[in-house]
């Protein structure tokens, strides 16, 4: 584990100035205390055409009562060089927070036990997954962070004085400790017959008719995570050979130690495939069904819906609890042309647009999504009302068909603004003592 020195002049400092927070003097302290660390996942090996879908429990992560400020990741080789997406496609990585009983040693845990299916983490009785704030349920899309090919060009910074607060001992159940799990799904497309088809996990290219549990795959399922599980192989060009290589997910975490001036944000992940049902409990609660993946039919063969070759998928999602949007970003796959989240009255809460690479080098690979634009509304300016029904819209170009695409939307929401938060957390004079000591 290597530590990089705290950064004094990060982009966060600039953001604070732009956003014009009510009292930037109070946030200078947080800013100057941003810590940063770079970690490597365990090593995984990939040869041409092969797939790794790995789950790493108890990964290196900053410890203690902290507020996360950003998380960035990329695939690197043994020499630490970034690997371009046209060689190793990073389908996704996901970071999950969980509690583990203290008396269960890491080695006693059976790593072959399947707990995760695509973006669905299955139940494991010893472990308690610490979900984000929703709105998919149970173990679906409960991660804290997660992106795919767009990782290198997508901002994840949480502006001051906000932060994702973790590691609070008071919240961890007796006898448990907080841990972090990383899932990495990568596909080596060197020498394959159809790079885009392999990254879209087309079942015929993987010659797969059964899922990883040996269950037959539905006839009408053309592609997606059920066809590119760990150790499957995408079809290679006749006679292609290439060396196996060792790869890592290198991830950079920034954080600050917790203090009472940090305003916590909640993480929401909305899924355009989420279909809602009123649940049977007769309390009027909703049941979410988040499939995470969907198919885009080519406009030349698919049903015409009046949008030409713009495939539009929408869903309506009631938010039990609202708040102020601090950050927003969508996740789409190649072919995506943008995603927008609307309020109940039709106002735009956030629009996130992919950028495609134009070259060969890592971070600028032609035809791949190499970044998603993000929203950083001035805190207080974009509010979701308690009980408001949002509409999520995800657009893809359907000039060709796509399988296994996604339309997710990440939101960071603060239930209080800084001045409200301070009023709550500083009824005593210690607030002023603290401000003074910061200015000094
Ligand atoms: C595809 O799978 C079938 C049955 O598992 C096998 O007989 C066949 O050789 C495979 N084809 C290729 C190209 O790998
Ligand atoms: C998605 O498509 C709809 C319908 O054509 C359009 O109104 C909307 O602006 C598009 N959104 C984005 C982000 O491109």
- pLDDT tens for the chain, residues 1 to 440: 333 333 333 443 333 333 333 333 333 344 568 999 999 999 999 999 999 999 999 999 999 999 999 999 999 999 999 999 999 999 999 999 999 888 766 543 443 334 444 444 444 557 788 999 988 877 789 899 999 999 999 999 999 999 999 999 999 999 999 999 999 999 999 999 999 999 999 999 999 999 888 899 999 999 999 999 999 999 999 999 999 999 999 999 999 999 999 999 999 999 999 988 777 766 667 788 888 899 999 988 755 555 689 999 999 999 999 999 999 999 999 999 999 999 999 999 999 999 999 999 999 999 999 999 999 999 999 999 999 999 999 999 999 999 999 999 999 999 999 887 766 554 443 433 333 333 33
3-state secondary structure of 30: helix
Measured in angstroms, how far is the CA atom of residue 243 from the centroid of ligand 2? 43
Do the beta carbons of residue 52 and residue 186 sit within 8 Å? yes
Do the beta carbons of residue 331 and residue 338 sit within 8 Å? no
Measured in angstroms, how far is the CA atom of residue 132 from the centroid of ligand 2? 28
Asked if residue 338 has its Cβ within 6 Å of ligand 2, the reply is yes
Asked if residue 193 has its Cβ within 6 Å of ligand 2, the reply is no
Task: Output the pLDDT for position 424.
Answer: 59
Asked if residue 312 has its Cβ within 6 Å of ligand 2, the reply is yes
Task: Output the pLDDT for position 281.
Answer: 67
Q: Ligand 2: which of 312, 346, 348, 353 to mutate, judged by most atoms within 8 Å of the beta carbon?
A: 312
Nearest CA to ligand 2 atom 5: 307
Measured in angstroms, how far is the CA atom of residue 399 from the centroid of ligand 1? 31
Computed from CA positions of residues 424, 14, 133, 395, in that sequence, does the dihedral angle turn out positive or negative? positive
Measured in angstroms, how far is the CA atom of residue 240 from the centroid of ligand 1? 17
Nearest CA to ligand 2 atom 9: 340
Nearest atom in ligand 2 to 393's CA: 1
Nearest atom in ligand 2 to 307's CA: 5
Measured in angstroms, how far is the CA atom of residue 345 from the centroid of ligand 2? 17
Q: Which of the 8 DSSP states describes residue 219?
A: T
Q: Which ligand is nearest to the CA of 203?
A: 1
The angle formed by the CA atoms of residues 130, 412 and 135, to the nearest 5 degrees, is 55
Q: Which ligand is nearest to the CA of 235?
A: 1
Please state, in angstroms and rounded to a whole number, the distance separating the CA atoms of residues 215 and 204.
Answer: 16
Q: Which ligand is nearest to the CA of 393?
A: 2
């Amino acid at each position: 584990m290597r530590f990089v020195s705290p950064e004094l002049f990060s982009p966060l400092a600039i953001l604070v100035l732009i956003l014009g927070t009510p009292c930037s003097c109070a946030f200078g302290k947080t800013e100057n205390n941003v810590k940063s660390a770079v970690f490597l996942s365990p090593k995984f090996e990939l040869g041409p055409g092969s797939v790794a879908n790995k789950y790493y429990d108890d990964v290196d992560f900053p410890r203690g009562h902290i507020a996360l400020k950003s998380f960035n990741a990329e695939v690197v080789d043994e020499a630490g060089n970034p690997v371009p997406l046209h060689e190793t496609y990073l389908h996704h990585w996901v970071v999950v927070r969980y509690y583990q009983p203290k008396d269960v040693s890491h080695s006693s845990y059976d790593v072959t036990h399947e707990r995760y299916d695509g973006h669905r983490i299955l139940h494991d009785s010893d472990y308690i997954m610490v979900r984000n704030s929703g709105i998919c349920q149970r173990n679906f899309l409960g991660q804290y962070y997660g992106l795919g090919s767009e990782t290198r060009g997508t901002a994840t910074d949480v502006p001051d004085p906000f932060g994702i607060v973790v590691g609070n001992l008071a919240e961890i159940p007796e006898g448990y400790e907080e841990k972090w799990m990383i899932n990495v799904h990568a596909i080596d497309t060197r020498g394959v017959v159809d790079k885009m088809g392999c990254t879209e996990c087309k079942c015929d290219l993987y010659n797969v008719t059964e899922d990883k549990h040996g269950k037959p795959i539905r006839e009408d399922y053309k592609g997606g995570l059920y066809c590119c599980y760990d150790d499957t192989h995408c079809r290679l060009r006749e006679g292609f050979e290439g060396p196996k290589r060792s790869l890592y997910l290198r991830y950079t975490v920034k954080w600050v130690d917790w203090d009472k001036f940090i305003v916590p944000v909640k993480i929401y992940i909305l899924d355009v495939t989420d279909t809602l049902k009123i649940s049977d409990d007769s309390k009027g609660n909703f049941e979410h069904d988040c499939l995470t993946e969907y198919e885009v039919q080519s406009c030349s063969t698919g049903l015409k819906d009046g949008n030409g070759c713009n495939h539009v998928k929408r869903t309506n999602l009631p938010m039990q609890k609202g708040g102020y949007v601090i950050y927003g970003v969508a996740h789409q796959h190649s072919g995506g042309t943008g995603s927008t989240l609307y309020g109940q009255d039709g106002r735009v809460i956030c629009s996130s647009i992919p950028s495609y690479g134009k070259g060969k080098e890592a971070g600028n690979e032609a035809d791949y999504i190499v970044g998603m634009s993000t929203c950083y509304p001035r805190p207080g300016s974009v509010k979701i009302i308690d009980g408001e029904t949002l509409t999520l819209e995800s657009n893809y170009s359907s000039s060709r068909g796509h399988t296994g695409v996604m339309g997710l939307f990440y939101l960071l929401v603060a239930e209080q603004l800084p001045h409200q938060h301070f009023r709550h957390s500083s009824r005593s004079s210690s607030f002023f003592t603290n401000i003074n000591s910061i200015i000094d």
